[in-house]
Amino acid sequence: MKKIIGMTFPRQDTSLGLEPSLLTVLPAGDNVIYSMENIDFDDDEVENYACSVYITGMNEFKEWASRHDREKIIVGGYEPTINPEEFVPFAKKVMVGPCDDWYASINQEGDIIKGITTNKKIPRYDLYDIKNNQQIIPDKQKDDICTSINTSQGCPFKCDFCCSPLMCDKLMSKPLDLIKEEVAYLKQFNPKFVFIRDENFPLQRDWKERLQAISEMGAKIYLFASANLLNEDTVKFMKENNVYMVCLGLEDITVDYAKNKTLDEACNLLHDNDIMVYLSFIVNPLKVRTQEESDDFYSRLLDRFVELKPEMVCGNFLMPFRGTKIWDDYKELVTEEDYNFYNSKSAFLEKDKENRLRMEYEMFYYQWLYYTSSFYQEHVRPFNTEDTLNLRFLELEEQFKSTENPKVLRKELKANVRNKEISSN
């Protein structure tokens, strides 16, 4: 029997892995495999290739596809959804939006078609080794088993930078029974941590029942939420149901977001209930072009950290996506080669190489400064715990240490932040 081969582009990074979304798409059958190698296959032995493509994998996908039979290639995922025409020369079918019914979806007429979701089966977890999962989070030791689950898709909010509403602009929830089936399946691995991959988990009307079902796994739970959905009642319920950390988007501190009006209260509530706070923030390279702008930006950011006391912070450079409100403002700056750098850690909007390097270093440096400050040790938690968060930052510090340019910068930066309030107070 000919094979159906699932692949993700870019290839899964083993230092930051999770069950790939493609497991939801792949159909039942012994002839189905998920390959993490992205090697070349013999077209004669293959019925179809199911390729999930992120923007960072676009160029890698094109190269791979040009060596394979177009008639057998089906693509889907974020980039094909946002930018379908670009895939038509490489794939027989370009599937846009969510999809979990393989045959019903691919049997539709046309080059560019909408995926069909019927919510009848759990993802093909059996095709994937849970040991490939790794997450950089507080308290997780390297070998602790972690897993993830997705209970809804889509987001009705339209933050100007975010590509999630392009995949699905309304909230689509999976039936509770299906969640329970997934939980029962995943429980056999005895995971210590589980990440709920939903855009904004408490946005679902019945999220409490869902959380209760997931807490049956016995693992520490972390999830994305928005500050406006957190109150005494919701946070208390989370704590009672194994939530150990909530991820909130601080986003670009120079912009006002409606969802963040109550961010300070939300962080306090979480801490009062002994739940950790994970804050992701955005750095727009065009706003930190000069050293002066950068000093000002990071000094404001550090002030916010001191106010909100997050246990974990995570910086992401602004990545403009086609189809979002900000795209027109940035499209002239985005080249096809830049697609490879849509990994959140590259300041590719800055075209001067040396300046870009400075920005990338600074984003790391200020997080490092926060984690290693006496403020963090005394008012937040100890940093040197050898959890994956600590180990990752030690690794990054080693990497940055070995490049010439940052060494010089390091000295200058130390001088710039010397008087920052981040020391214990």
| Residues of this chain that bind ligand B12 (CB under 6 A) | 8, 10, 12-13, 16-18, 20-22, 24-25, 50-52, 54-56, 74-79, 82, 95, 98-100, 115, 150, 153, 162-164, 167, 197, 199, 321, 342-344
In whole angstroms, the minimum distance from the beta carbon of 403 to ligand B12 comes to 22
Residue 134 or 234: the one with the smaller Cβ distance to ligand B12 is 134
**Shortest spacing between CB 379 and ligand B12, in angstroms:** 29
Stated as kind and residue range, the H or E segment containing 5 is strand 3-9
Nearer to ligand B12, 148 or 234 (CB): 148
Question: Closer CB to ligand B12, residue 167 or residue 394?
Answer: 167
- CB of 27 vs ligand B12, minimal distance in Å: 11
Count the residues in the chain.
Answer: 425
Q: 3-state DSSP call for residue 322?
A: coil
Nearer to ligand B12, 319 or 417 (CB): 319
Residue among 330 and 420 whose Cβ is closer to ligand B12: 330
Three-class SS of residue 369?
Answer: helix
Q: Closest separation between CB of residue 148 and ligand B12, Å? A: 6
DSSP secondary structure of 242-279: TEEEEEEEEE-TTS--GGGTTHHHHHHHHHHTT-EEEE
Grouping H, G, I as helix, E, B as strand and the rest as coil, residue 95 is: strand
**Least distance from ligand B12 to the Cβ atom of residue 378, Å:** 31
> Pairing between strand 172-173 and 152-153?
antiparallel
Element containing residue 33 per DSSP (H, E) = strand 32-34
Nearer to ligand B12 among residue 389 and residue 417 (C-beta):
389
CB of 341 to ligand B12, least distance (A): 10
Distance CA 347, CA 265 (A): 32
Distance CA 87, CA 97 (A): 14
d(CA 343, CA 157): 23
Spatial distance between the Cα atoms of 405 and 416, rounded to a whole number of angstroms:
17
User: How do strand 32-34 and strand 46-53 relate by DSSP bridges?
Assistant: unpaired
What is the rounded CA–CA span in Å between residue 4 and residue 268?
A: 49
Q: Which two tokens stand for residue 408?
A: 């010089």
Quick one: 167 or 326, whose CB is closer to ligand B12? 167
Residue 63 to residue 188: CA distance in whole angstroms: 39
Give min distance, CB of 139 to ligand B12, in A: 18
How many CB atoms are located within 10 Å of the residue 6 CB?
26
Kindly give, in sequence order, each residue whose CB lies less than 8 Å from that of residue 77, ignoring residues fewer than 6 positions away: 21, 22, 51, 52, 53, 54
Nearer to ligand B12, 323 or 382 (CB): 323
CA distance linking residue 264 with residue 191, whole number of Å: 32
Pick between residue 150 and residue 367 the one whose CB is nearest to ligand B12. 150
Least CB distance to ligand B12 at residue 198 (A): 7
The minimum distance between CB 249 and ligand B12, in angstroms, equals 10
CB of residue 82 to ligand B12, shortest distance in Å: 6
Q: CB nearer to ligand B12: give 335 or 424.
A: 335
CB of 197 to ligand B12, least distance (A): 4
- Give the residue carrying structure tokens 């990497």: 399
Among residues 168, 204, 206, the alpha carbon closest in space to that of 82 is found at: 168
CB-based burial of residue 191 (10 Å sphere; 0-12 exposed, 13-18 middle, 19+ buried)? buried
Q: Other CB atoms closer than 10 Å to residue 285's CB: what's the count?
A: 21
Cβ proximity to ligand B12: between 24 and 242 the closer is: 24
Residue of this chain nearest to ligand B12 (CB atom): 76
**CA dist 139 → 20, 57, 136, 373 (Å):** 23, 31, 9, 18
